[in-house]
Chains A and B, each alone.
Chain A
Amino acid sequence: MNQWLDERLHISRLNDKFLRKAFPVHHSFFLGEITLFSLIVLIITGILLALSYEPSNSLVVNSFDPGTADKVNYIPAAYHSALKINAMPFGDMLRRVHHWMANIMVAAAVIHMMRIYFTGAFKKPREINWWIGMLLLIFAALTAVTGYILPYDNYAYQTVGVVYAITKSVPWVGDWASQAAFAGQFPGAGIIPRIYGYHIMLLPGILLALTGAHLLIMIKQKHTQPQYAKRLAYKKIVGVPLLTQQTPIMLLLALLFTGIVLLFAAFIPVHPVEVFGAPSSTPIPNIKPDWYLLWVFGALAIIPSFDFQILGGTIGAEFVGAMVFPGIVIGLMFAVPMLDISKENNYYAENPTDHPVRLAAGTAFMAFMLTLSLAGYKPDLIQGGVLTTANANAVLWILVFVVPALTYFATVGIVRLIRALREADERDAAAHSAQLSHSAADD
């Protein structure tokens, strides 16, 4: 059979090129794979959900609670179908798996990027894949946000209101852009069909295309080699081949991982659409976006209000907080490969402690994002009595700058300590072996 296939599909070339791709043996190299598995499970559960979902925000009678003849209980069809999915056998479970997978996919992608950053794997020749990875992260977040809107409960309604407002805050073109993106003035009659199209067609298409490019480039360029490979066989690719060694490991990992998420979903409920209720004008106290967007939310909460006009366009705090500022942060992340302009190709994953500035800048950046996310909890902090309305902004602003600075210097200090210890160790070992050889020579 092999020969039959080979004559037609040139399997042996495929085999040499792709199926024998060597995978480095180190657990941190599984993070990318976990991201990929989550995407696959997301697509499968997403298709199953789409089969029972009704993408429409026109009002229908709530079949679970029809109301009375003179006061019929109308709810949006999308919300109604979300309720029906919950009532299906394992329907709620399906929603939970989809939801948790989305969160885990973003988390795994973020940790995967941290691995790349701290080991210098973004260096030449892998800059392009860093950029594609950034695009993947951005589009993954957009897909997640549009997914939040689909159940069209009150939470989704309030969320899409804010997303609409942010789009609208762009000077000059905002009004047109927000109406074009969300099918008319909020909440237009076609808003759910529009977002459904984004969430199940446009964005997954982009994600899949980018993922394909990401993987192809990775196969072409090979992984960065872990340090042990340098000792084992310098400048040779070391690792286990995709077929047949890596495949069972991958399958095992995929099954184990999916199993854990299923277990997780079985016990931890998510986004209870029944609790939030149908869209209404009642605000949800302490509403917050998902953890990976909390930093933008935090920035919005502490940037004081202002607005001014230039050439007929209005530039306000919302635009600066939700567009300009994240634009700068994402721009910085895009620029990471530019920080290193070596002409040499990088083969080996670097030890983070050999690059203290890069390491410290990375941890400081994470501290910055975390403090901004903390600022997102401003209303809760005020309610809890930790801060007052008067001092909240000042305290949070100071934290946003001081915590990253402290993290930076602390990291540099710790790295110095580690290196000092390591050097001492090496000196010890050298002295010891010198002594040994000395005494050996004596005998």
Chain B
Amino acid sequence: MTRYKKQDPELTRRKFINAAMGGAAAIGTLSLISTLGGAKPVFRLTPALAPPMEGDVLVHADPSRYGEPVKVSDLGLQLVRAWPQGKDKNGSPVIRDQDPTSVLAIFKYPAGQIQAPTNMEGTIDGQIVAYGDRCQHAGCNVGNNDQKPGLMNCPCHSGQYDPKLGGKVIGGPPPAPLAQLPIKLDGDKIVATGFFLSKPYGFNTEDDWTKYTAQVKELLS
């Protein structure tokens, strides 16, 4: 009898230690997770971080001509990479080059080549068309297709797009067409007339993109 009596408190002590260790581990994990919360900084939208939007002038992204407005004479079957240039609160120009999703590719084709599903309203005379230049697959910058001028080729996993057909995927793994940016000619400058017409790379659904543009409008206008 005495033996059993002696063992009982031993057991509860063991139980207590186990519970204490479990409790400590749980509290430790929780506090670790709460500090992890600080790992993600707050997102503050600034004009430089904004996506291309109505009224933005398209300027060259290439380092040699950085910031010069893109002219029609610069364009052709080889893509011209551009950033949107908007205005900050004081009205001075800002190049929106802080979010890589904003980078653009502009093409000019002979009349009649650009066809649906391209949004024809968003082109200039059905000849000049602009797209977001980040691949819908993993966000690499899409370049020219060296063999077939006028088509686009992603260097990362050989995704291929046809800018004449609304940025349609014609090869490789990308899950969605490139996002078209509606543009018009204003004097000799090319100007955006709105947001991307579909979700650019980095947004999971069209819904996410519409919500984001609504937010951008509210914050920056």
Binding site for B on A (CB under 8 A): 71, 158, 161-162, 164-166, 168, 176, 179-181, 183-188, 190, 280-287, 297, 300-301, 303-307, 309, 314, 316-318, 321, 378-379, 382-383, 389, 392
Contact = CB atoms under 8 A, between A and B. Distances in A.
B158 A378 contact: yes
4 nearest interchain CB pairs? A283-B141, A180-B40, A305-B175, A165-B138
Given A162-B140, A166-B138, A283 B173 contact: no
A300 B173 contact: yes
B137 interface: yes
Contact of B63 (A166, A280, A382, A392): A280
B40 A179 contact: yes
A283 B174 contact: no
B103 A183 contact: no
A283 B155 contact: yes
Contacts of B169: 305
Given A183-B40, A185-B43, A305-B173, 20 more contacts: A158-B141, A161-B138, A162-B139, A164-B139, A179-B40, A180-B40, A281-B81, A281-B133, A282-B143, A283-B140, A287-B155, A301-B158, A314-B204, A317-B173, A378-B157, A379-B153, A379-B155, A379-B158, A383-B147, A389-B171
22 contacts: A158-B140, A162-B139, A162-B140, A165-B138, A168-B202, A176-B40, A179-B41, A180-B36, A181-B39, A184-B41, A281-B61, A281-B81, A281-B100, A281-B133, A283-B140, A283-B154, A300-B173, A303-B173, A305-B173, A305-B175, A317-B175, A378-B158
Given A297-B157, A389-B160, A283 B142 contact: yes
A297 B202 CA distance: 20
A261 to B, nearest CB: 31
A71 B103 CA distance: 21
B99 interface: yes
A34 to B, nearest CB: 33
A317 B40 CA distance: 26
B205 interface: yes
B79 to A, nearest CB: 11
A71 to B, nearest CB: 8
B206 interface: no
B125 interface: no
Contacts of B36: 180
By secondary structure, the B interface counts as loop
Nearest to B137: A318
Contacts of A378: 157-158
A318 B135 CA distance: 12
Contacts of A179: 40-41, 43
B63 A188 contact: no
B40 to A, nearest CB: 4
B204 A287 contact: no
Nearest to A317: B173
B155 A282 contact: no
Interface string B136-178: 0111111100110000011111101000000001011111000
Contacts of A301: 157-158, 172-173
Contacts of A305: 137, 169, 172-175
Contacts of B88: none
Contacts of B74: none
Given A176-B40, A282-B81, A305-B137, A161 B100 contact: yes
Nearest to A164: B139
A381 B37 CA distance: 45
Contacts of A300: 137-138, 157, 173
Interface in B80-129: 81, 99-100, 103
A269 B33 CA distance: 43
Contacts of B158: 301, 378-379, 382, 389, 392
A304 B147 CA distance: 22
Interface in B22-44: 36, 39-41, 43
Nearest to A181: B39
Contacts of B103: 281
Contacts of B147: 383
Nearest to A73: B63
B155 A286 contact: yes
A161 B142 CA distance: 13
Contacts of B160: 389
A285 B138 contact: no
Nearest to A185: B43
A382 B172 CA distance: 12
B40 A316 contact: no
A30 B154 CA distance: 43
A283 B143 contact: yes
A284 B155 contact: yes
A202 to B, nearest CB: 12
B171 A187 contact: no
A183 B139 contact: no
Contacts of A382: 158
Contacts of B142: 283
Contacts of B173: 300-301, 303-305, 317-318, 321
B141 A281 contact: yes
Most chain A CB atoms below 10 A, which of B63, B142, B154? B63
B152 to A, nearest CB: 10
Given A165-B138, A285-B155, A190 B205 contact: no
A159 B10 CA distance: 58
Nearest to A289: B156
Nearest to A382: B158
B47 to A, nearest CB: 15
